[in-house]
Amino acid sequence: MALVAVAAVCVIRNIVHNLPGKRQDEGSFSRTAESMPVPISNAKPASGISPYWQAHHETGNLEEYSWWHIEGFPAGKLTVIPDPTGSGRGSVLRGEIIAANPPGGDSHRLYPALLLPECYRGGYRSTFHVWADFPSSTQRGWFSFATYSNKQDWKDLFGVNLGFEQGEDRLVLFHVPVFSKGTYTRISSIPFPMRQWVKVEVKVDNSGIMLFQDDRLIAEAIKDWGADGVGLCEAHWGLYGQDKNRSGVLLNDDITVSLDTSFDTPPRMERLQTKGKR
């Protein structure tokens, strides 16, 4: 892997080429809407919260993140470019799959990552804006728009994925309540639109996870946070998809992480030149 890191806003390490335990069926899920009520009382999206960390991409370069690609194989491209959608968003993150025939079992991993020097413990909210142009559900594998980890080295995480329900593309929660599961309560059955900017937000606390689309609560999930309790150690956004995907473009903008409780450990930058799989 080649790694470029040029920011002073977050800890960046070489991302694991194959995250531990991630399965090739990550886009499939089971749903129990009536059997899994989630006791989260505040269903409002975030407002007026000062973010602990954010990336707006307005610099026009990659300095807000660490970046990597599969060395020796052109799996895809990551760039920061002027908003090509005509929405006036300034600069945005762009990931594009260019590998028509990737190696078997090799996922497209075109994403930036935030890694904290020590894990934060407490609730948090995270928002990001996404624009996607992917093939129809019959031609694609799973795609994950965001991943949030409760432990270091991606050992306990959940994902915001693009799923398919009742003939519609919809956002789904994955790795809940435990790893490799996608069991959640569907609150609102609104579709996820292609080629349109969408605001996505997660609210995370001891009770579980709430997922919002354009400020509307659409899904809830119970998550077992383990002995350490709820928290955030690592997160990534961007284009992350199964190897069977042959094409796709994803744009991200205005990514934020806001913490519910005090956390005095600031993010820091860590430059690594390690190549290959870890």
Structural domain span for residue 157: 31-36+49-259
Please give the residue that has the higher pLDDT: either 110 or 70.
110
Within-domain flag for 22: no
Average pLDDT, the chain: 78
CA distances from 169 to 87, 143, 166 (A): 22, 11, 9
Given a cut of 70, whether residue 38 has pLDDT beyond it is no
Within-domain flag for 5: no
- For residue 81, give the nearest of 91, 89, 68 by alpha carbon: 91
Counting the structural domains of the chain, the total is 1
Tens of pLDDT, residues 45-91: 555 567 898 888 988 776 666 544 444 556 788 889 999 999 999 99
Please give the residue that has the higher pLDDT: either 216 or 107.
216
The confidence score (pLDDT) of residue 66 equals 55
Task: Establish how many alpha carbons lie within 13 A of residue 166's alpha carbon, considering only the half-sphere containing its beta carbon.
Answer: 10
Tokens of 130: 């996404």
Tens of pLDDT, residues 1-26: 333 333 333 333 333 333 333 433 44
Q: What is the CATH number of the domain that holds 241?
A: 2.60.120.200
CA distances from 165 to 31, 34, 200, 202, 249 (A): 10, 16, 18, 20, 22
Within-domain flag for 107: yes
Within-domain flag for 135: yes
Within-domain flag for 44: no
Confidence label for 271 from pLDDT (cuts 50, 70 and 90): very low
Tens of pLDDT, residues 228-251: 999 999 999 999 988 888 889 999
Angstrom distance (rounded) from CA 128 to CA 92:
11
